Amino acid sequence: MRRPARYSALGLLTRGLTGRKWPRLWSQHDLRRSYDVVIVGAGVHGLACAYYLAKVHGITNVAVLDKGWLGGGGSGRNTAILRSNYLTPEGIRFYDRSLHLYRRMSAELNLNVMFSQRGHLTLAHSDAALRTMRWRAEVNVLQGVDSRVVDAAEVKTLVPSLDVSPHSAHPILGALYHPPGGIIRHDAVVWGYARAAAALGVQLHQETEVSDILVEGGDGPSGKGPGGRVTGVRTSRGDISARVVVNCAAGWASTVAQLAGLTLPITTIPLQAAVTEPVKVFLPAVVVSGSLHVYVSQTDRGELVFGAAVDPVAAYSTRGSLEFVEGLASNILQLMPGIARMRLLRQWAGLCDMTPDYSPIMGGTPVDGFFVDVGWGTYGFKAGPVSGEQMAACIATGRTPELIRAFDLARFTEDRLVGEKGAAAVGH
Protein backbone atom coordinates (compact mmCIF):
# COMPACT_ATOMS: atom_id res chain seq x y z
CA MET A 1 0.00 0.00 0.00
CA ARG A 2 1.22 3.49 -0.85
CA ARG A 3 1.16 5.55 2.37
CA PRO A 4 -0.67 8.85 2.03
CA ALA A 5 1.78 11.76 2.36
CA ARG A 6 2.31 13.41 5.75
CA TYR A 7 3.22 17.08 5.99
CA SER A 8 5.14 18.89 8.69
CA ALA A 9 3.89 22.30 9.82
CA LEU A 10 6.75 23.89 7.83
CA GLY A 11 5.87 21.78 4.79
CA LEU A 12 2.24 22.95 4.97
CA LEU A 13 3.30 26.59 5.31
CA THR A 14 5.73 26.38 2.40
CA ARG A 15 3.13 24.76 0.20
CA GLY A 16 0.58 27.41 1.13
CA LEU A 17 2.96 30.31 0.49
CA THR A 18 4.46 29.01 -2.75
CA GLY A 19 1.14 27.93 -4.26
CA ARG A 20 2.59 24.52 -5.16
CA LYS A 21 -0.12 22.10 -6.27
CA TRP A 22 -1.41 19.56 -3.75
CA PRO A 23 -1.06 15.92 -4.76
CA ARG A 24 -4.37 14.29 -5.68
CA LEU A 25 -5.93 12.18 -2.92
CA TRP A 26 -6.87 9.46 -5.40
CA SER A 27 -5.94 8.78 -9.04
CA GLN A 28 -8.15 8.66 -12.10
CA HIS A 29 -8.25 5.47 -14.17
CA ASP A 30 -9.71 4.15 -17.37
CA LEU A 31 -12.65 1.89 -16.63
CA ARG A 32 -11.67 -1.77 -16.68
CA ARG A 33 -13.96 -4.18 -18.49
CA SER A 34 -14.12 -6.44 -15.46
CA TYR A 35 -13.93 -6.13 -11.66
CA ASP A 36 -14.46 -8.61 -8.85
CA VAL A 37 -16.78 -6.18 -7.09
CA VAL A 38 -18.65 -3.14 -8.40
CA ILE A 39 -20.07 -0.79 -5.77
CA VAL A 40 -22.78 1.63 -6.88
CA GLY A 41 -22.58 4.86 -4.89
CA ALA A 42 -19.41 6.67 -3.76
CA GLY A 43 -20.67 7.94 -0.44
CA VAL A 44 -19.37 6.93 2.96
CA HIS A 45 -21.06 3.49 2.76
CA GLY A 46 -19.71 2.57 -0.67
CA LEU A 47 -16.24 3.89 0.06
CA ALA A 48 -16.06 2.24 3.49
CA CYS A 49 -17.15 -1.07 1.97
CA ALA A 50 -14.41 -0.78 -0.68
CA TYR A 51 -11.84 0.14 1.97
CA TYR A 52 -12.64 -2.86 4.19
CA LEU A 53 -12.81 -5.24 1.22
CA ALA A 54 -9.27 -4.22 0.32
CA LYS A 55 -7.84 -3.73 3.80
CA VAL A 56 -9.29 -6.68 5.68
CA HIS A 57 -10.09 -9.19 2.94
CA GLY A 58 -7.44 -8.43 0.31
CA ILE A 59 -10.07 -7.88 -2.41
CA THR A 60 -8.69 -4.95 -4.37
CA ASN A 61 -10.11 -5.43 -7.88
CA VAL A 62 -12.99 -3.18 -6.87
CA ALA A 63 -14.65 -0.23 -8.62
CA VAL A 64 -16.77 2.34 -6.82
CA LEU A 65 -19.03 4.11 -9.33
CA ASP A 66 -21.01 7.28 -8.85
CA LYS A 67 -23.18 9.19 -11.28
CA GLY A 68 -22.07 12.41 -9.54
CA TRP A 69 -19.06 13.05 -7.37
CA LEU A 70 -17.58 11.45 -4.25
CA GLY A 71 -19.73 12.24 -1.22
CA GLY A 72 -22.18 14.33 -3.28
CA GLY A 73 -25.29 12.53 -2.03
CA GLY A 74 -26.35 11.88 1.55
CA SER A 75 -22.73 11.88 2.75
CA GLY A 76 -22.37 15.55 1.91
CA ARG A 77 -25.90 16.57 2.87
CA ASN A 78 -26.35 15.22 6.38
CA THR A 79 -25.89 17.14 9.62
CA ALA A 80 -22.92 14.99 10.71
CA ILE A 81 -24.44 13.83 14.00
CA LEU A 82 -23.07 10.61 15.50
CA ARG A 83 -24.74 8.63 18.29
CA SER A 84 -25.67 5.10 19.31
CA ASN A 85 -28.61 5.71 21.67
CA TYR A 86 -31.08 3.64 19.66
CA LEU A 87 -34.12 1.76 20.85
CA THR A 88 -33.61 -1.88 19.90
CA PRO A 89 -30.69 -4.04 21.09
CA GLU A 90 -29.86 -4.79 17.43
CA GLY A 91 -29.77 -1.10 16.56
CA ILE A 92 -27.78 -0.09 19.63
CA ARG A 93 -25.08 -2.74 19.10
CA PHE A 94 -24.77 -1.86 15.44
CA TYR A 95 -24.52 1.93 15.81
CA ASP A 96 -22.23 1.57 18.79
CA ARG A 97 -19.75 -0.37 16.69
CA SER A 98 -19.91 2.51 14.21
CA LEU A 99 -19.16 5.01 16.95
CA HIS A 100 -16.19 2.88 17.95
CA LEU A 101 -14.86 2.93 14.38
CA TYR A 102 -15.47 6.67 14.12
CA ARG A 103 -13.53 7.19 17.35
CA ARG A 104 -10.37 5.69 15.94
CA MET A 105 -10.89 6.88 12.35
CA SER A 106 -8.40 9.77 12.32
CA ALA A 107 -5.59 7.37 13.23
CA GLU A 108 -6.88 4.58 10.98
CA LEU A 109 -7.14 6.81 7.89
CA ASN A 110 -4.33 9.23 8.79
CA LEU A 111 -6.65 12.20 8.33
CA ASN A 112 -8.16 14.46 10.97
CA VAL A 113 -11.90 13.81 10.70
CA MET A 114 -12.56 16.17 13.63
CA PHE A 115 -14.78 13.85 15.65
CA SER A 116 -15.98 15.84 18.64
CA GLN A 117 -17.70 13.68 21.28
CA ARG A 118 -19.50 16.55 22.94
CA GLY A 119 -22.63 14.77 24.14
CA HIS A 120 -26.12 14.48 22.69
CA LEU A 121 -29.37 15.54 24.38
CA THR A 122 -32.83 14.44 23.26
CA LEU A 123 -35.27 16.73 25.02
CA ALA A 124 -38.52 15.51 26.56
CA HIS A 125 -41.44 17.95 26.65
CA SER A 126 -44.07 15.55 28.00
CA ASP A 127 -44.42 12.68 30.46
CA ALA A 128 -44.88 10.30 27.54
CA ALA A 129 -41.60 11.47 26.00
CA LEU A 130 -39.83 11.08 29.36
CA ARG A 131 -41.10 7.49 29.56
CA THR A 132 -39.64 6.75 26.12
CA MET A 133 -36.32 8.32 27.18
CA ARG A 134 -36.22 6.10 30.28
CA TRP A 135 -36.94 3.08 28.14
CA ARG A 136 -34.16 4.02 25.71
CA ALA A 137 -31.74 4.69 28.57
CA GLU A 138 -32.45 1.27 30.10
CA VAL A 139 -31.93 -0.60 26.84
CA ASN A 140 -28.80 1.47 26.11
CA VAL A 141 -27.27 0.69 29.49
CA LEU A 142 -28.03 -3.02 29.07
CA GLN A 143 -26.01 -2.89 25.84
CA GLY A 144 -23.16 -1.06 27.57
CA VAL A 145 -23.98 2.31 26.00
CA ASP A 146 -23.68 5.44 28.13
CA SER A 147 -27.14 7.08 28.25
CA ARG A 148 -29.19 8.42 31.15
CA VAL A 149 -32.21 10.58 31.78
CA VAL A 150 -31.43 14.02 33.22
CA ASP A 151 -33.84 16.61 34.66
CA ALA A 152 -34.42 20.14 33.39
CA ALA A 153 -31.90 21.65 35.81
CA GLU A 154 -29.13 19.38 34.49
CA VAL A 155 -30.18 20.17 30.92
CA LYS A 156 -29.67 23.87 31.74
CA THR A 157 -26.24 23.14 33.21
CA LEU A 158 -25.23 21.16 30.14
CA VAL A 159 -26.62 23.70 27.64
CA PRO A 160 -27.07 27.12 29.27
CA SER A 161 -28.56 28.70 26.12
CA LEU A 162 -31.69 26.51 26.30
CA ASP A 163 -34.84 28.04 27.76
CA VAL A 164 -35.93 25.55 30.44
CA SER A 165 -38.53 27.84 31.99
CA PRO A 166 -41.75 26.00 32.97
CA HIS A 167 -43.69 28.85 31.34
CA SER A 168 -42.48 28.24 27.77
CA ALA A 169 -45.00 26.84 25.27
CA HIS A 170 -43.20 23.47 25.29
CA PRO A 171 -41.49 23.22 28.68
CA ILE A 172 -38.43 20.96 28.87
CA LEU A 173 -39.09 18.29 31.50
CA GLY A 174 -35.80 16.46 31.05
CA ALA A 175 -33.74 14.74 28.39
CA LEU A 176 -32.01 11.57 27.33
CA TYR A 177 -28.34 12.44 27.76
CA HIS A 178 -25.87 10.42 25.67
CA PRO A 179 -22.31 11.63 26.38
CA PRO A 180 -20.59 9.62 23.57
CA GLY A 181 -22.68 11.33 20.85
CA GLY A 182 -21.23 14.20 18.87
CA ILE A 183 -20.40 15.62 15.47
CA ILE A 184 -17.71 15.08 12.86
CA ARG A 185 -16.46 16.63 9.63
CA HIS A 186 -18.42 14.60 7.08
CA ASP A 187 -16.36 15.54 4.00
CA ALA A 188 -13.18 14.43 5.75
CA VAL A 189 -14.73 11.02 6.41
CA VAL A 190 -15.47 10.61 2.70
CA TRP A 191 -12.03 11.82 1.62
CA GLY A 192 -10.31 9.65 4.21
CA TYR A 193 -12.00 6.47 3.04
CA ALA A 194 -11.54 7.41 -0.63
CA ARG A 195 -7.82 8.06 -0.22
CA ALA A 196 -7.21 4.94 1.86
CA ALA A 197 -9.22 2.68 -0.47
CA ALA A 198 -7.48 4.11 -3.56
CA ALA A 199 -4.07 3.59 -1.96
CA LEU A 200 -4.97 -0.10 -1.58
CA GLY A 201 -5.82 -0.42 -5.29
CA VAL A 202 -9.56 0.33 -5.37
CA GLN A 203 -10.65 2.39 -8.40
CA LEU A 204 -13.01 5.35 -7.89
CA HIS A 205 -15.02 6.44 -10.92
CA GLN A 206 -17.01 9.65 -10.64
CA GLU A 207 -19.54 10.77 -13.27
CA THR A 208 -20.10 7.14 -14.16
CA GLU A 209 -23.81 6.38 -14.06
CA VAL A 210 -25.09 2.82 -13.77
CA SER A 211 -28.00 2.58 -16.22
CA ASP A 212 -28.59 -1.18 -15.90
CA ILE A 213 -27.62 -4.15 -13.80
CA LEU A 214 -26.99 -7.25 -15.88
CA VAL A 215 -28.72 -10.35 -14.51
CA GLU A 216 -29.26 -13.80 -16.01
CA GLY A 217 -31.65 -16.60 -15.12
CA GLY A 218 -34.09 -14.64 -12.96
CA ASP A 219 -37.83 -15.23 -12.67
CA GLY A 220 -38.83 -11.76 -13.86
CA PRO A 221 -38.94 -10.02 -17.25
CA SER A 222 -35.65 -10.18 -19.23
CA GLY A 223 -34.34 -12.85 -16.87
CA LYS A 224 -33.96 -10.43 -13.95
CA GLY A 225 -35.20 -10.63 -10.37
CA PRO A 226 -35.24 -13.42 -7.78
CA GLY A 227 -33.50 -16.60 -8.81
CA GLY A 228 -31.17 -14.71 -11.16
CA ARG A 229 -27.42 -14.11 -11.04
CA VAL A 230 -25.59 -10.82 -11.49
CA THR A 231 -23.11 -10.70 -14.38
CA GLY A 232 -22.22 -7.00 -14.41
CA VAL A 233 -23.44 -3.46 -14.92
CA ARG A 234 -24.08 -1.15 -17.87
CA THR A 235 -22.68 2.33 -17.31
CA SER A 236 -22.54 5.65 -19.13
CA ARG A 237 -18.92 4.66 -19.97
CA GLY A 238 -19.62 1.13 -21.18
CA ASP A 239 -20.39 -2.33 -19.79
CA ILE A 240 -18.46 -3.92 -16.92
CA SER A 241 -18.61 -7.57 -15.96
CA ALA A 242 -18.63 -8.39 -12.24
CA ARG A 243 -19.76 -11.31 -10.09
CA VAL A 244 -20.71 -9.00 -7.25
CA VAL A 245 -22.62 -5.71 -7.43
CA VAL A 246 -23.35 -3.76 -4.24
CA ASN A 247 -26.13 -1.19 -4.02
CA CYS A 248 -24.92 1.67 -1.79
CA ALA A 249 -26.86 4.33 -3.67
CA ALA A 250 -28.63 6.09 -0.80
CA GLY A 251 -31.53 8.17 -2.09
CA TRP A 252 -31.71 6.03 -5.23
CA ALA A 253 -31.63 2.62 -3.57
CA SER A 254 -35.01 1.49 -4.85
CA THR A 255 -34.37 2.63 -8.44
CA VAL A 256 -30.97 0.89 -8.49
CA ALA A 257 -32.54 -2.30 -7.06
CA GLN A 258 -35.21 -2.15 -9.79
CA LEU A 259 -32.41 -2.38 -12.36
CA ALA A 260 -31.71 -5.87 -11.00
CA GLY A 261 -35.43 -6.75 -11.02
CA LEU A 262 -35.91 -6.32 -7.25
CA THR A 263 -38.56 -4.22 -5.56
CA LEU A 264 -37.52 -2.90 -2.15
CA PRO A 265 -39.93 -1.70 0.58
CA ILE A 266 -38.55 1.84 0.44
CA THR A 267 -40.10 5.29 0.08
CA THR A 268 -37.74 8.16 -0.67
CA ILE A 269 -38.40 11.43 1.15
CA PRO A 270 -36.31 14.63 1.28
CA LEU A 271 -34.88 15.81 4.59
CA GLN A 272 -33.90 19.46 4.79
CA ALA A 273 -31.13 21.15 6.72
CA ALA A 274 -29.73 24.65 7.12
CA VAL A 275 -26.65 26.42 8.43
CA THR A 276 -26.13 29.89 9.95
CA GLU A 277 -23.33 32.39 9.80
CA PRO A 278 -20.51 31.52 12.24
CA VAL A 279 -20.57 32.97 15.75
CA LYS A 280 -18.45 32.45 18.85
CA VAL A 281 -18.85 28.88 20.11
CA PHE A 282 -21.61 28.73 22.76
CA LEU A 283 -23.45 25.42 22.18
CA PRO A 284 -21.53 22.60 23.87
CA ALA A 285 -23.74 19.62 22.92
CA VAL A 286 -26.00 18.33 20.16
CA VAL A 287 -29.62 19.18 21.03
CA VAL A 288 -32.65 17.38 19.60
CA SER A 289 -36.33 18.02 20.23
CA GLY A 290 -38.59 15.37 18.76
CA SER A 291 -41.75 17.26 19.72
CA LEU A 292 -40.57 20.51 18.13
CA HIS A 293 -39.12 18.61 15.15
CA VAL A 294 -35.74 20.26 15.31
CA TYR A 295 -32.10 19.45 16.06
CA VAL A 296 -29.08 21.71 16.28
CA SER A 297 -25.34 21.53 16.80
CA GLN A 298 -22.51 24.04 16.44
CA THR A 299 -19.51 23.29 14.26
CA ASP A 300 -15.98 24.06 15.39
CA ARG A 301 -16.12 26.96 12.91
CA GLY A 302 -19.06 28.40 14.87
CA GLU A 303 -21.96 27.79 12.47
CA LEU A 304 -25.21 26.39 13.82
CA VAL A 305 -26.34 23.39 11.78
CA PHE A 306 -30.08 22.65 11.92
CA GLY A 307 -32.35 19.92 10.72
CA ALA A 308 -36.03 19.16 11.11
CA ALA A 309 -38.54 16.46 10.22
CA VAL A 310 -38.56 14.88 6.76
CA ASP A 311 -40.69 16.65 4.13
CA PRO A 312 -44.39 15.78 4.13
CA VAL A 313 -44.31 14.08 0.70
CA ALA A 314 -42.13 11.51 -1.08
CA ALA A 315 -39.92 13.18 -3.72
CA TYR A 316 -36.42 13.27 -5.20
CA SER A 317 -35.91 17.01 -4.73
CA THR A 318 -32.77 18.27 -2.99
CA ARG A 319 -33.91 21.91 -2.84
CA GLY A 320 -34.74 23.77 0.32
CA SER A 321 -38.17 25.34 0.88
CA LEU A 322 -39.47 28.48 2.60
CA GLU A 323 -41.93 26.37 4.63
CA PHE A 324 -39.01 24.49 6.14
CA VAL A 325 -37.19 27.65 7.21
CA GLU A 326 -40.35 29.19 8.67
CA GLY A 327 -41.12 26.07 10.72
CA LEU A 328 -37.50 25.68 11.78
CA ALA A 329 -37.17 29.30 12.91
CA SER A 330 -40.35 29.31 14.97
CA ASN A 331 -39.50 25.96 16.61
CA ILE A 332 -35.83 26.58 17.39
CA LEU A 333 -36.61 30.01 18.87
CA GLN A 334 -38.90 28.36 21.43
CA LEU A 335 -35.85 26.45 22.65
CA MET A 336 -33.18 29.13 22.20
CA PRO A 337 -34.72 32.60 22.04
CA GLY A 338 -31.22 34.08 22.27
CA ILE A 339 -30.31 33.23 18.67
CA ALA A 340 -33.15 35.26 17.12
CA ARG A 341 -30.77 37.65 15.34
CA MET A 342 -28.51 35.06 13.77
CA ARG A 343 -28.71 34.80 10.00
CA LEU A 344 -29.17 31.62 8.01
CA LEU A 345 -26.59 31.27 5.25
CA ARG A 346 -27.66 28.17 3.33
CA GLN A 347 -30.26 25.45 3.21
CA TRP A 348 -30.38 22.19 1.27
CA ALA A 349 -31.94 18.74 1.31
CA GLY A 350 -30.79 15.13 1.15
CA LEU A 351 -32.79 12.06 0.19
CA CYS A 352 -33.82 9.52 2.83
CA ASP A 353 -34.78 5.98 1.83
CA MET A 354 -37.36 5.12 4.48
CA THR A 355 -38.19 1.49 5.30
CA PRO A 356 -41.36 0.44 7.15
CA ASP A 357 -39.47 -0.21 10.42
CA TYR A 358 -36.88 2.61 10.13
CA SER A 359 -34.02 0.07 10.11
CA PRO A 360 -31.73 -0.54 7.13
CA ILE A 361 -31.72 -3.44 4.68
CA MET A 362 -28.32 -5.12 4.48
CA GLY A 363 -26.80 -8.24 3.00
CA GLY A 364 -27.47 -10.55 0.07
CA THR A 365 -30.69 -10.62 -1.94
CA PRO A 366 -32.67 -13.19 -3.95
CA VAL A 367 -30.50 -12.14 -6.93
CA ASP A 368 -27.24 -14.02 -6.49
CA GLY A 369 -24.27 -11.64 -6.35
CA PHE A 370 -26.46 -8.57 -5.78
CA PHE A 371 -25.96 -7.08 -2.32
CA VAL A 372 -27.77 -4.19 -0.68
CA ASP A 373 -26.69 -1.66 1.92
CA VAL A 374 -29.76 0.56 1.75
CA GLY A 375 -32.86 1.88 3.50
CA TRP A 376 -31.00 4.21 5.83
CA GLY A 377 -33.77 6.72 6.34
CA THR A 378 -32.29 9.52 8.46
CA TYR A 379 -29.60 7.29 10.03
CA GLY A 380 -27.21 6.67 7.15
CA PHE A 381 -24.18 8.80 7.85
CA LYS A 382 -23.64 7.58 11.40
CA ALA A 383 -23.65 3.98 10.14
CA GLY A 384 -21.06 4.40 7.39
CA PRO A 385 -18.02 2.71 8.96
CA VAL A 386 -19.81 -0.27 10.50
CA SER A 387 -21.81 -0.83 7.33
CA GLY A 388 -18.65 -0.85 5.25
CA GLU A 389 -16.96 -3.24 7.64
CA GLN A 390 -19.90 -5.64 7.87
CA MET A 391 -20.85 -5.55 4.18
CA ALA A 392 -17.25 -6.27 3.22
CA ALA A 393 -17.25 -9.29 5.54
CA CYS A 394 -20.58 -10.45 4.12
CA ILE A 395 -19.32 -10.22 0.52
CA ALA A 396 -15.89 -11.70 1.20
CA THR A 397 -16.99 -14.65 3.32
CA GLY A 398 -20.41 -15.36 1.79
CA ARG A 399 -21.88 -15.34 5.32
CA THR A 400 -24.00 -12.62 6.89
CA PRO A 401 -22.21 -11.34 10.03
CA GLU A 402 -24.16 -11.54 13.29
CA LEU A 403 -24.16 -7.76 13.71
CA ILE A 404 -26.30 -7.21 10.59
CA ARG A 405 -28.30 -10.44 10.50
CA ALA A 406 -31.42 -8.75 11.87
CA PHE A 407 -31.41 -6.25 8.98
CA ASP A 408 -31.93 -8.74 6.16
CA LEU A 409 -34.49 -8.19 3.41
CA ALA A 410 -36.44 -11.31 4.36
CA ARG A 411 -37.58 -9.76 7.67
CA PHE A 412 -40.37 -7.90 5.87
CA THR A 413 -41.99 -11.16 4.74
CA GLU A 414 -41.15 -13.09 7.92
CA ASP A 415 -42.60 -10.63 10.45
CA ARG A 416 -39.25 -9.81 12.10
CA LEU A 417 -39.27 -6.01 11.97
CA VAL A 418 -36.63 -4.06 13.92
CA GLY A 419 -38.64 -0.98 14.95
CA GLU A 420 -36.39 2.07 15.27
CA LYS A 421 -38.94 4.82 14.65
CA GLY A 422 -38.81 5.72 18.35
CA ALA A 423 -35.10 6.50 18.08
CA ALA A 424 -35.50 9.03 15.26
CA ALA A 425 -34.05 12.44 16.01
CA VAL A 426 -37.34 14.07 15.11
CA GLY A 427 -40.87 12.82 14.50
CA HIS A 428 -41.69 11.59 11.01
- Contacts with ligand PYC by CB under 6 A lie at 79, 81, 83, 295, 307, 378-379, 425
Q: Which residue, 64 or 273, is less far from ligand PYC as judged by CB?
A: 273
Residue 64 Cα distances to 68, 71, 250, angstroms = 12, 12, 14
Phi/psi at 98 (5° precision): -65, -45
If the CB atoms of residues 83 and 186 are measured against ligand PYC, the closer one turns out to be 83
Question: In angstroms, what is the minimal distance from the CB of 185 to ligand PYC?
Answer: 16
Q: Alpha-carbon dihedral of residues 266, 190, 363, 34, nearest 10 degrees?
A: 110
Q: C-beta of 100: minimal distance to ligand PYC in Å?
A: 17
Minimal distance in Å, beta carbon 121 to ligand PYC? 12
Judged by beta carbon, residue 160 or residue 422, the one nearer ligand PYC is 422
Max distance between CA atoms of the chain, in angstroms, equals: 67
Chain Cα centroid distance, residue 193? 14
Task: Tell me the C-alpha distance between 208 and 259, whole Å.
Answer: 16
Instruction: Name which of 60 and 79 has its Cβ closer to ligand PYC.
Output: 79
Q: How far is the CB of 377 from ligand PYC (least distance, A)?
A: 8
Q: What is the smallest separation between the CB atom of 120 and ligand PYC, expressed in angstroms?
A: 8
Residue 345 CA to residue 275 CA, distance in Å, equals 6
Find the shortest distance in angstroms from Cβ 358 to ligand PYC.
Answer: 10
Q: Which is nearer to ligand PYC, 205 or 382 (CB)?
A: 382
Smallest distance from ligand PYC to CB 378, Å = 4
In terms of CB distance, is 51 or 379 closer to ligand PYC?
Answer: 379
| Comparison of 54 and 271: residue with beta carbon closer to ligand PYC | 271
User: Amino acid identity, residue 238?
Assistant: G
**Residue 376 neighbours by CB under 8 Å, 6+ apart:** 45, 74, 250, 352, 353, 360, 383
Q: Which is nearer to ligand PYC, 52 or 295 (CB)?
A: 295
User: Could you tell me the smallest distance in angstroms from the CB atom of residue 15 to ligand PYC?
Assistant: 36
